[in-house]
Amino acid sequence: MKGRKPEITALPGALDTPPSAPTWLPKFAKKEWARVVPALVRARSLASHELSTVESYCIAVARVRECEAVIQKHGLTYVSPTGESKRRPESTLAKENIEAARRLAAELGITPASRSKNKGGAPEHDNEDEFGVDI
């Protein structure tokens, strides 16, 4: 793209302090919230009207973990009542939630590709590990 690039500034209305995770979120979703939200607030890239997107992202991550726990315990397949070997429904649910989490993470600017597109997220002198929200 040619021309001058716009200067990136803090998001208007960005939150100053990380809000607590909603009490109704599942355990793994709360852990993801605690991992992601403080970094987004530090980067001045999260406003209160975007919290529902963060909630959805955290739920998708939690669902992937829940599905993976079932798959690890019971395997990828099961034998149906008719004797056929079938793929566990959790594998499809995991795939759907991985895709949802990926899309939502890009919307929130917490993937390396989305940060490089809008220059949001971690300051350039920081590495991604210090930023702590890479997927």
125 confidence band (pLDDT: 50, 70, 90): very low
128 confidence band (pLDDT: 50, 70, 90): very low
The CA distances from residue 19 to 13, 22, 30, 131, in Å, are 14, 9, 12, 18
Residues near 45 by Cβ (< 8 Å), separated by ≥ 6? 10, 11, 14, 108, 109, 120, 121
What is the pLDDT at residue 9? Answer: 55
* pLDDT tens column, 1-27: 566 644 545 566 788 999 999 999 999
76 confidence band (pLDDT: 50, 70, 90): very high
Backbone φ and ψ for 132, nearest 5 degrees, come out as: 80, 20
DSSP 13: T
What is the pLDDT at residue 113? Answer: 81
Q: Could you tell me the pTM of the whole model?
A: 0.76
User: Nearest-CA neighbor of 121 among 9, 16, 57, 45?
Assistant: 45
Q: For the beta carbon of residue 5, count every other beta carbon within 10 angstroms.
A: 7
129 confidence band (pLDDT: 50, 70, 90): very low
Backbone φ and ψ for 73, nearest 5 degrees, come out as: -75, -40
What is the pLDDT at residue 122? Answer: 41
* DSSP SS3 for 77: strand
* DSSP SS3 for 98: helix
* pLDDT tens column, 78-101: 999 999 999 999 999 999 999 999
pLDDT greater than 90 at residue 112: no
Higher pLDDT, 117 or 5: 117
